[in-house]
Amino acid sequence: MENDKHFTLGKINMILIAIGFAIVILGFVLMTGSSTVKEFNPDIYSFRRITVGPMISLFGFVSIIFAILYKPKTK
């Protein structure tokens, strides 16, 4: 029996998936922030939290889908 390991996704795909996950995490970090229960903080509706963070997360998810579907050129 051979020890040939054949993975469905190649090295390039795995690197692209890892980059996509990092982008998603960055988007979620941008959506977080301090919260106080005792007083209202208008910063929870900031442009960074409601627009930039979700757009970066969406871009990360799209890049993960691309990384899964990407097929490197064969020699």
User: pLDDT by residue (tens digit) across 21-74?
Assistant: 999 999 999 999 777 778 887 888 899 999 999 999 999 999 999 999 998 887
Residue at 4 is within a domain = no
Q: Is 17 helix (H, G, I), strand (E, B) or coil?
A: helix
Q: Quick check: is 57 in a domain?
A: yes
pLDDT (0 to 100) of residue 73: 81
Give residue 2's pLDDT band: very low, low, confident or very high (50, 70, 90).
low
Q: How many CB atoms lie within 10 A of CB 56?
A: 19
- Count structural domains, the chain: 1
Give the pLDDT of residue 4. 63
Q: Nearest to residue 57, comparing CAs of 6, 18, 21?
A: 21
What is the pLDDT, as a whole number, of residue 43? 81
Residue 40 belongs to what domain range?
11-69
Q: Looking at the domain assignment, is residue 5 inside a domain?
A: no
